[in-house]
Structure 1
Amino acid sequence: MKIAFLGNYPPKACGIGTFTNSLARAILSNLKASSIDEYAEIIAMEDASDQHDYPKEVTRCIRPQVPQDYRDTADYLNDGKFDLLLLQHEYGIFGGNDGTHIMHLLDKLRIPLIVTFHTVLKEPSFSQRDVLSRIADRAQAVVVMTQLASKLLDKVFSVAPSKIHVVEHGVPVIESAPRETLRKQLGWSDRRVLFTFGLLGRGKGIETSIRALPAIVARYPDTLYVVLGKTHPHVIKHNGEEYREYLQDLAQELGVGDNLRMISKFASEQELFDCLRAADVYVVPYPNEAQITSGTLAYAVGAGAGIVSTPFWHAAELLREGRGKLFPFHDSQALATTVIGLFDQPAELQAMRERAAAYGAHLLWPKIGKQYLTVLGEAQVAFRTQEAQSRQRTHLPRLKLDHLVRLTDDCGIIQHGKHAIPNRYEGYCLDDNGRALLLVGMLAKDGLADSDLLGRLSDTYISYIFHAQNLDGTFRNFMAYDRRFLERTGSEDSFGRALWGVSFCLAHPVRADQRPLLEEIYLRAIDHLENMTSPRTIAYGVLAASYYLDYKPTDERMLNLLDRMCSRLIDHYNDSRAEGWNWFENYLTYSNGILPFALFRAVNHLNKETIRAVAVESTNFLAEQTIVDGVLSPIGCNKPFTFRKARPQYDQQPIDVMCKVLLFNEACRHQELQPHCANVPIAFAWFTGQNDLKAPMYNPETGGCCDGLMESGVNHNQGAESLIAYLVSRVVIENFTIAHSDKQRVNTPDTGKAALKALLNGFALTEDVVSESDGGAKQATS
């Protein structure tokens, strides 16, 4: 048995660190091992400025803002014969936007994963929801500490209920001296003591308690409010002791300075429990409901304290059935009334303490550790029962055309967006209307959207293309928003992209009555391909001719044109090819996958081994250059990637990803290129966050796709090119998933009990740990 824990860890002074250590010791208490390092290793999150002296079980550290540390740790875990990883998740402890850097590790991880979510939000931002959902998707089991958190994971984050286990926050097994002895030792014998502890910072609501003090002191002058805890390290870094000083000044201003004692100390568990048992009332004045877990509250229940709290989520659940009293947020008068009422009725206060202590007996860490062991067994089963390529599984967002409709007006598709709003300043272009026509043709062919909607959209895009065509068959490209074309003749690439969309809809029309105009546009334009020199335009021409031949397969003129265009593309390949460089140019730039993709399409009509061989070689080369550690890393467009020069990493463009999705999907239809089947979901996953920055490019809220992945982060503008690149890829991956679904499963143990028994081989303290595993998981989620 060899387990890895990842999170903060003592001596770092924070709640996650304390929890990670407590959980490791709780599991240890159920094993034959005598120390944590005998069965586990700890991987600690450690800022570069930290200099903590960690115990021997801490074998590695991860610098939160260094992605390579996460990737290296994944390699260490995969190669180190670890049985599983237990991850403690809190948004703030990992680097990247809302902690997205942790995905650098999880995307490479090849062992079972169990995650404890310490924060689950009711109204997360898009980024917060995306990060947590992706972590949960990778995990075999997730643990939360309240029933509400379980419901939020299901309803807000769409986590599979079968993965979710409710295991409450543990409390230490700590003996204390009799209460009166403790009060004497602490100097509280002649005082009525209110007590609060935890790391200080704004957001703890302690000012509410201090504002309640004057009314309490007026009735009970001997009242003392003790606040125990150091200021949070992040608060110290940015604001020093400003909050502590503010609280002290507030007490003086209210005339209760002598009734407040603030102790700046990160207390031991023994000290905390002694204080909780000695105090009269433990006060939790958090100012808002959105706290799903509170370790301090769990400790107070475990210690049998008399608790008065605001109704934040964990308190509302844990203090039911008379285990504590609740008062409204920010309501110092209600707090004072509640405390005075308890002081007036000491028998009720004592009964409340006893109810809390009785419930707390179920929260002792050894019992919590046993429940976690049950989860570990179930996670092992879940991991082994996944399909052979489940670790490459890509979650498919719902196919959504809202942003396509938003960008399309009665003239055409507007080419740029300002965030998700159409940017009229930039007008329209032929490129995007040609690609949009390709998209609606693909959607109509596969029956993936409403036919009336697709009919209206395709009419608009065809109309734009027809309007943009000159009488000689060439095209204009850019049009201002006032519908004035801005040049006489557009670029070669815009010409080729328009023909690609036109020819696809000739072969697969959205409506049959559109074909005459599409064929007229196509035939007027096609001869101009002979005079064009750009390799990508030639590739678009190959695609256009191949789709036309799908429509009219015996057209000798088009067969001859296709043959000539393929020969020109192969000439480019032969002129640029060198040892270690199997490509059509001596550099890689944009839309690279379109070149071999076009040749694969041509093979459907020209059965020539030379064409197929160049397509195979160039596809293998492009995959080698752009798939790194199982993640697509497209060639950056900051500058060309020249042979034997450093590869530019940014900025990465969605259109280049689309071309790779199309290429790998087409390539894996060929027997010797079956390995590229694995690259189709890898390429698509770039849109959903499996990329160099672990940042989602597709926004399911708007239905749009961000315009680029820059070194500084995501370009959040959502224009037409990026949107169409995503949607075309989404159509391809939909069909790919259906065609390549693998129904064979790996042989697995029958139960979590069998998996846990195998995991604990040599470590089981008693048979109880294993024999209770089948029922324990049900209890954990009840």
Structure 2
Amino acid sequence: MTALRRLAFIGNSLPRRCGIATFTTDLQQAVANARPEVDVAIVAMTDHGRVYDYPSVVRMQINDDRQTEYEEAADFLNAGQFDIVCVQHEFGIFGGEAGGHLLALLSRLTMPIVTTLHTVLAEPRPAQRAVMKRLVDLSAKIVVMAEKARELLRNVYDVAAEKIEVIPHGIPDAAFVEPDAAKARLGFDGRTVMLTFGLLSPNKGIEVMIDAMPAILRSRPDAVYVVLGATHPNLVHSEGEAYRERLQARVHALGLEKQVVFLNRFVDQPTLLDFISMCDVYVTPYLNEAQMTSGTLAYSFGLGKAVVSTPYWHARELLADGRGILVPFGDAAAIGAEIARLLCNDNRRQAMRTEAYANSRSMTWKRTAERYFATFDRIRRLQRLKVIASPGEGTVQESPPLPAMQLGYFFSMCDDTGLFQHAIHSVPDRSHGYCVDDNARALLVACALNTGGEHRMPDALTTRIAAFVQHAWNADTRRFRNFMSFERRWLEDSGSEDSNGRTLWALGECSRDDSSATRRQWAVALFAEALPSAESFHSPRAWAFTLLGLDAYCTVAPQDSRAPSMRRLLADRLMSVLASVETEDWVWFEEVLAYDNARLSQALIVTGLAAGVPAYAAAGRRSLRWLMALQRSVAGHFRPVGSGSFGDKRRLPRSFDQQPLEAAAAISACLAAWRADGDPQWASDAQRAFAWFLGSNDLSTPLVDTETGSCRDGLHADRANENRGGESAVSYLMGLAEMREFARLVSNRPKPARLRMLRA
């Protein structure tokens, strides 16, 4: 695929005064900064015959009511051989019924179209629905900025899930600062400042906030409410400044002339950021919920402001889980009480600010540009992996080609003892030695390569890893040891239950899939010897890992009558803890989310299939569906449960730190669920989890070097962890092996077929 050379945006552009113009200009500048080699242009919509002094990046303008100019714009874009056209859509900015003139332009284009919808109507008029349907048909991708928009597109307009991308509204990458310096610069020194900014219009609810001021002033007499923004040009055109004058009259009637300040200005971005910086609380008192995106809200949230808002769609998503405060529409008493409490509680306000700033780092314009480019690049790939499910089971979402299997880095992390635990950057860290956990995972990788048509792991290395596992077995305690120093000295007599369960899992896979018959015999014998200890396990993960090992072992050792009994015992335990913990809102086995979460669901799914117990498989799929919903970001990409969540009882997962182990587990579990019921959404979820490794994540940062097979240890809130330890490497290799086998199976055998899972 040739590199993207030319990109055009269609939409409003500064100096036109409106939110779409600001967004289009900010996005254009962000993508131009991200890839300076790409020629980026704007085709600007000009309203009602007005004239604007557009900058040079605007190569052409369209008078919104002249259809011939739409056709001329199509000719201009085709002749210019632009690679992608990105439309910023809002019904009110294009001419014709329901903005239908735009279709005359788009239908003539010869390049792919990506359409960003700034509004998605829940109850469209027939003409609006017809235009939207055609717009979706003409677009290769539809970008929205909130999950609510995705939901409406799916339910109201029947748009295919794979056609929708969620990319949050971009924000400036500004520092987290205290408001005092900006207050001094802007003349509000010593005041407690509340701010609302944006083009003034009746739907903004400013009058509600004015009515709330007396209650706020009783608690904070130094408070001032600043309303920053010019009146919306369309409103000025229809009624002049009548709305602003009504607001000012209300202020006068309440005697608030010194406490409510109107600044009738359309400010540039540096000035705007200064005003946001000075406020103690940002307020969006909009009057109805049908506000899909708010740039003003996004900017204030991104600067780390405590936000009080009515619950319109964008605010409900962005401010959920304590990231802000929501109050009822039109309720001056409620908004006054909440702001007063917040202004009187410095600790709460500061905590809210810190949470907002931390959660917004993935929304910076740089990250937004990266996500748009990722979308553009996916569209332009000539070679795509098309995964077709069995007849009658639907079509799985398209995915880019998978990387080749590269083991070079894995080899460099091994010595004549086994796989090292950790690395400092890409250099093995001998000081932390080895563990049976990671060597068991390495044995799983070796088995996966034997069954998927890949180049096998060198036999000598597989033997070395098997020897580590054998040496870990402590016949005195009937358990596997886990940690070994670099000097080959065991640091414990017995490892954790989870490490023992994972070792049983690896032995089970080895007993069936190892390339060496003698190693398979060894694995059968050691598994049989170690299995009785599983009965005393208390950890649900240890049960799950053991069940995954039993799934393989039972196929090669049917004579072992203990194995089916142990399988039923452990599966019933998982079912029991799920039943005791599960509620409508918490469909899980424990009151906390920890590590390797999806393996619990996977274990029940594969056990249900193998043992012929549908209830096991159904419970596994139900819990996995809940988990995968939690692991989907607002932008639509995979967001694994962050390690910061460990120990939080019945709380939504924290975003960071994200670890490769979770992505690998999600891939396996989702493909196990696909095998159970054939729902293509499971395969799409697996693809989404694998894409996390390649950069479809909160930081748009690839975790892997596909040339060597190395994998970073995870994502922090602001950067990737540059260390590349053994666990991360094998997690990536296991996920890749499973995705590659899945792709081979469904592309080579289009007839109904039973998917042979790697369970890795």
Structure 2 length-normalised TM: 0.51
- Residue 118 of structure 2 corresponds to 76
1:385 & 1:431 partners in 2: Cα distance? 33
* Unaligned residue ranges in structure 1 (runs of 5+): 45-54, 60-71, 88-106, 112-232, 235-375, 745-782
Helix, strand or coil: the match of 2:627? helix
- Residue 597 of structure 1 corresponds to 602
Which letter does structure 2 place at the counterpart of 1:700?
A: T
- Residue 469 of structure 2 corresponds to 465
* Structure 1 residues 68-99: Cα deviation after superposition (integer angstroms, max 9, x where no partner): xxxx9844399863755999xxxxxxxxxxxx
* Unaligned residue ranges in structure 2 (runs of 5+): 1-7, 12-23, 44-55, 78-84, 100-113, 122-131, 143-160, 166-268, 271-375, 389-394, 751-760
Which letter does structure 1 place at the counterpart of 2:454?
A: L
Is the aligned partner of 1:622 residue 2:598? no
Is the aligned partner of 1:631 residue 2:637? yes
How many residue pairs get aligned? The number is 437
Which letter does structure 1 place at the counterpart of 2:118?
A: Y
Given that residues 705 and 723 in structure 1 are in contact (C-alpha distance below 8 angstroms), is that contact kept between their aligned partners in structure 2?
yes
1:33 & 1:539 partners in 2: Cα distance? 65
1:386 & 1:394 partners in 2: Cα distance? 9
2:708 & 2:620 partners in 1: Cα distance? 37
- Residue 479 of structure 2 corresponds to 474
Given that residues 86 and 115 in structure 2 are in contact (C-alpha distance below 8 angstroms), is that contact kept between their aligned partners in structure 1?
no
- Residue 424 of structure 1 corresponds to 430
Q: CA deviation at 1:510?
A: 2.1
2:409 to 399, 403, 423: 403
Q: CA deviation at 1:735?
A: 1.4
Given that residues 445 and 733 in structure 2 are in contact (C-alpha distance below 8 angstroms), is that contact kept between their aligned partners in structure 1?
yes
Q: CA deviation at 1:425?
A: 1.2
Q: CA deviation at 1:515?
A: 2.5
- Residue 662 of structure 1 corresponds to 668
Helix, strand or coil: the match of 1:424? strand
Aligned residue runs from structure 1 range 513-662, under 5 A: 513-628=518-633, 629-640=635-646, 642=648, 644-662=650-668
Structure having greater relative contact order (Cα 8 Å, sep ≥ 6) = 1
Helix, strand or coil: the match of 2:610? coil
Distance 1:110 1:9, change over 3 A: closer
- Residue 734 of structure 1 corresponds to 740
Q: CA deviation at 1:3?
A: 6.6
Given that residues 709 and 733 in structure 2 are in contact (C-alpha distance below 8 angstroms), is that contact kept between their aligned partners in structure 1?
no
Given that residues 3 and 86 in structure 1 are in contact (C-alpha distance below 8 angstroms), is that contact kept between their aligned partners in structure 2?
no
Is the aligned partner of 1:413 residue 2:429? no
Q: CA deviation at 1:381?
A: 13
Distance 1:608 1:85, change over 3 A: closer
Q: CA deviation at 1:469?
A: 0.9
Aligned residue runs from structure 1 range 243-262, under 5 A: none
Aligned residue runs from structure 1 range 262-277, under 5 A: none
2:460 to 447, 451, 456: 456
Q: CA deviation at 1:110?
A: 4.9
Helix, strand or coil: the match of 1:428? strand
Which letter does structure 2 place at the counterpart of 1:624?
A: A
Helix, strand or coil: the match of 1:558? helix
Structure 1 length-normalised TM: 0.50
Q: CA deviation at 1:690?
A: 0.9
1:557 & 1:86 partners in 2: Cα distance? 54
* Structure 1 residues 572-625: Cα deviation after superposition (integer angstroms, max 9, x where no partner): 111111122211111211101100111122124321232122112112211222
Helix, strand or coil: the match of 2:715? strand
Aligned residue runs from structure 1 range 432-447, under 5 A: 432-447=438-453
Helix, strand or coil: the match of 1:668? helix
1:85 & 1:441 partners in 2: Cα distance? 40
Which letter does structure 1 place at the counterpart of 2:468?
A: Y
1:495 & 1:441 partners in 2: Cα distance? 19
Distance 1:711 1:75, change over 3 A: farther
Given that residues 588 and 641 in structure 1 are in contact (C-alpha distance below 8 angstroms), is that contact kept between their aligned partners in structure 2?
yes
Aligned residue runs from structure 1 range 115-514, under 5 A: 392-450=398-456, 453-472=457-476, 473-514=478-519
Q: CA deviation at 1:395?
A: 3.1
* Structure 1 residues 195-221: Cα deviation after superposition (integer angstroms, max 9, x where no partner): xxxxxxxxxxxxxxxxxxxxxxxxxxx
Distance 1:741 1:488, change over 3 A: same
Distance 1:606 1:56, change over 3 A: closer
Which letter does structure 2 place at the counterpart of 1:530?
A: E
Which letter does structure 2 place at the counterpart of 1:559?
A: P
1:425 & 1:380 partners in 2: Cα distance? 46
Q: CA deviation at 1:449?
A: 1.2
Given that residues 7 and 17 in structure 1 are in contact (C-alpha distance below 8 angstroms), is that contact kept between their aligned partners in structure 2?
no
Given that residues 665 and 677 in structure 1 are in contact (C-alpha distance below 8 angstroms), is that contact kept between their aligned partners in structure 2?
yes
1:446 & 1:385 partners in 2: Cα distance? 17
- Residue 713 of structure 2 corresponds to 707
CA RMSD in angstroms, aligned pairs only: 4.4
Helix, strand or coil: the match of 1:416? strand
Higher radius of gyration, 1 or 2: 1
Given that residues 549 and 605 in structure 1 are in contact (C-alpha distance below 8 angstroms), is that contact kept between their aligned partners in structure 2?
no
Which letter does structure 1 place at the counterpart of 2:657?
A: D
Distance 1:737 1:42, change over 3 A: closer
Distance 1:643 1:675, change over 3 A: farther
Given that residues 417 and 719 in structure 1 are in contact (C-alpha distance below 8 angstroms), is that contact kept between their aligned partners in structure 2?
yes
Q: CA deviation at 1:460?
A: 0.8
Q: CA deviation at 1:641?
A: 7.0
2:380 & 2:413 partners in 1: Cα distance? 47
1:467 & 1:568 partners in 2: Cα distance? 30
Given that residues 4 and 84 in structure 1 are in contact (C-alpha distance below 8 angstroms), is that contact kept between their aligned partners in structure 2?
no
Helix, strand or coil: the match of 1:427? strand
Q: CA deviation at 1:738?
A: 2.2
Q: Percent identity?
A: 27
Given that residues 630 and 652 in structure 2 are in contact (C-alpha distance below 8 angstroms), is that contact kept between their aligned partners in structure 1?
no
* Structure 1 residues 308-359: Cα deviation after superposition (integer angstroms, max 9, x where no partner): xxxxxxxxxxxxxxxxxxxxxxxxxxxxxxxxxxxxxxxxxxxxxxxxxxxx
- Residue 186 of structure 2 corresponds to none
Given that residues 9 and 20 in structure 1 are in contact (C-alpha distance below 8 angstroms), is that contact kept between their aligned partners in structure 2?
no
Helix, strand or coil: the match of 1:417? strand
Which letter does structure 2 place at the counterpart of 1:564?
A: L
Which letter does structure 2 place at the counterpart of 1:682?
A: R
Helix, strand or coil: the match of 2:118? helix
Given that residues 162 and 398 in structure 2 are in contact (C-alpha distance below 8 angstroms), is that contact kept between their aligned partners in structure 1?
no
* Structure 1 residues 366-397: Cα deviation after superposition (integer angstroms, max 9, x where no partner): xxxxxxxxxx9xx9998999999797413311
